[in-house]
Amino acid sequence: MELFMDEGDRLNWPVVKDRKWLMLLLVSILFAMLAVFLAAVKNQYGVLSIIISILLTTVNVNRTAKLTN
């Protein structure tokens, strides 16, 4: 497997191994799915859920930048 990895794959490996990054990603996706569900049932909390999802995604992107630099 090591033979087929190029430089870009090795740079992303610390991000993939990081459990906090993975948990933030999963929670952000769950909040986005919750927002869609809440919007489908015409609940006002869908807006709050999408805002939380965007904030978590922003934190996750910043963490990714720290891990790769």
* Helix, strand, coil fractions of the chain, as percent rounded to 5: 85, 0, 15
Which long-range CB contacts under 8 A does 50-58 form with residues at least 24 apart?
A: 53/28, 53/29, 56/24, 56/27, 56/28, 56/31, 57/28
- Give pTM, 2 decimals: 0.76
What are the sequence ranges of the domains in the chain?
Answer: 18-68
pLDDT in tens, the chain (69 residues): 555 656 555 667 778 788 988 999 999 999 999 999 999 999 999 999 999 999 999 999 998 888 887
